[in-house]
């Protein structure tokens, strides 16, 4: 039984994790950078320990700093949240060396899915459909492979993640230059210049499956649709994925479980797929070996606390439930409210929040670290809050979403609230099953800036 957990993260996910810890009677110690020592998560935690300067490389991205904070705090476990070091095998190995429980999968499993080419090989070995593609060592290699695949193609960084390191190419004459640029950017961003090509589906749907595994048994907790994106970054997610045929849905879920079983996966993880709407074909994209930003929509339809399940598994316990005991009911939608000016290319907008008012009521959940006076620093992700609504069906959830968005107010920094209202009001979104190109279509031409809601 864990007694003290160091939360090596910040923002809303830090609040989310510490609340589960406290409900379980586990002391929650927050590791905070200088920018976050007086944050809402710091005030809510049982204790705070300084992690380092505001720059992520000196704090949240430093394995030595995180391990040092855990040792100083007397923590017997580290929860990495998402982002930062959550999928870094070096942290998992350092935890093992220090006798600290890493609340997540093993270092080997992180390595297996963190390298996108290795993940593709594992997916193939597990029998999952994988889009045509492969590694390219030079722009010349890319030209030959693209000719075999056919355009458009996607240039992807092997070490990328979270929507970063992706560049679509529609024409042969643009490929060599894009590959050169992608290699340079990948080396700078991920310390790994390797890239690969994959057949690109400009209008596919992004569907993913939530898994839980204990190293022996793997189950799924249903699927989610994350197709409302900008620049491959998710903005709205829902569970279950709307307008999927029963056979297709079951095939996607079976494939995700097969991948988890192949890895003997331990912890919470998500297997992501691209679905081709015209043919109902689907292809493995990647696995995120951590808790996802969008996990609340799964919690809303399955009734489980996924952070509590992560902790239970990390303590060495078998899964509490089998697949036959998983009950999925209702529908849930999540909006990521970011400090960004969506009328200006989603430009980040750091500053100070002067008003933060969120709705409450049946079927409404708000995960946030923001209140009046909160400073939004320039060094980190721009996520301010997640508005999650649920209902007996998608129609009820969508009605609640529109009403809840109208009752949100964040002043002091431009936000994406207005964009979410526009999506929620769109007839195409109301029907459901939009593709990843939907938001681009909806926002063209972009509206003029103005109005208090951003």
C-alpha distances out from residue 177 to 138, 151, 155, 173, Å: 11, 15, 11, 8
DSSP 256-321: HHHHHHHHT-EEEEEEEEEEETTTTEEEEEEEE-S--TTHHHHHHHH---HHHHHHHHHTTPPPSS
Q: Which of 106, 166, 417 is nearest to 286 (CA)?
A: 166
Catalytic-labelled residue, pool 120, 167, 290, 394: 290
Is 290 known to be catalytic?
yes
CB within 8 Å of 50: residues ≥ 6 apart = 32, 33, 34, 37, 69
Burial 384-404 (b: 16+ CB within 10 A, else e): bbbbbbbbeebeebbebbeeb
**How many helices, marked H, and strands, marked E, lie in the chain?**
15, 23
Dihedral (CA of 289, 134, 233, 91) sign? positive
Tokens of 453: 């809601």
Tracing tokens 């409450």 back to the chain, one arrives at 360
Residue 271 β-bridge partners: 209, 287
Q: Which residues does the annotation mark as catalytic?
A: 290
């Amino acid at each position: 039984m864990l007694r003290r957990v160091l939360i090596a993260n910040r923002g809303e996910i830090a609040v989310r994790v510490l609340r589960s810890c406290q409900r379980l009677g586990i002391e929650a110690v927050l590791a905070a950078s200088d920018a976050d020592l007086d944050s809402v998560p710091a005030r809510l935690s049982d204790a705070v320990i300084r992690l380092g300067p505001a720059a992520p490389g000196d704090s949240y991205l430093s394995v030595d700093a995180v391990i040092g904070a855990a040792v100083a705090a007397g923590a017997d476990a580290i929860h990495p949240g998402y982002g930062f070091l959550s999928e870094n095998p070096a942290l998992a190995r350092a935890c093992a060396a220090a006798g600290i429980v890493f609340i997540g999968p093993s270092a080997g499993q992180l390595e297996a899915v963190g390298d996108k080419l290795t993940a593709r090989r594992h997916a193939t070995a597990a029998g999952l459909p994988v889009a045509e593609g492969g590694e390219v060592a030079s722009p010349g290699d890319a030209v030959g492979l693209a000719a075999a695949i056919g355009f458009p193609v996607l240039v992807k960084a092997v070490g990328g993640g979270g929507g970063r390191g992706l560049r679509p190419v529609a024409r042969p004459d643009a490929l060599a230059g894009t590959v050169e640029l992608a290699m340079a950017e990948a080396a700078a961003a991920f310390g790994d210049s390797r890239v690969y090509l994959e057949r690109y589906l400009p209008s596919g749907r992004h569907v993913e499956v939530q898994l839980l595994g204990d190293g022996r048994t793997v189950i799924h907790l249903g699927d989610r649709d994350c197709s409302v994106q900008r620049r491959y970054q998710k903005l709205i997610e829902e569970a279950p994925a709307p307008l999927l045929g029963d056979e297709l849905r079951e095939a996607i879920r079976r494939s995700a479980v097969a991948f988890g079983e192949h890895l003997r996966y331990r912890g919470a993880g998500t297997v992501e797929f691209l679905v081709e709407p015209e043919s109902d074909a689907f292809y493995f994209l990647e696995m995120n070996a951590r808790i996802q930003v969008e996990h609340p929509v799964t919690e809303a339809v399955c009734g489980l606390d996924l952070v509590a399940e992560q902790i239970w598994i990390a303590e060495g316990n078998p899964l509490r439930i089998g697949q036959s005991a998983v009950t999925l009911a209702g529908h849930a939608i999540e909006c990521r409210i970011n400090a960004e000016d969506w009328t200006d290319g989603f430009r980040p907008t750091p500053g100070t929040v002067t008003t933060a008012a969120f709705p409450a009521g049946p079927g409404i959940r708000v995960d946030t670290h923001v209140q009046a006076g909160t400073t939004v620093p320039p060094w980190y992700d721009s996520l301010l809050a997640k508005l999650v609504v649920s209902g007996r069906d998608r129609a009820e959830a969508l009605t609640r979403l529109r009403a809840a968005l109208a009752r949100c107010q964040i002043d002091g920094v431009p936000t994406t609230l207005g964009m979410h209202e526009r999506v929620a009001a769109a007839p195409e979104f109301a029907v459901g099953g939009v593709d990843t190109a939907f938001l681009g279509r909806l926002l063209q031409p972009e509206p003029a800036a103005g109005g208090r809601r951003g």
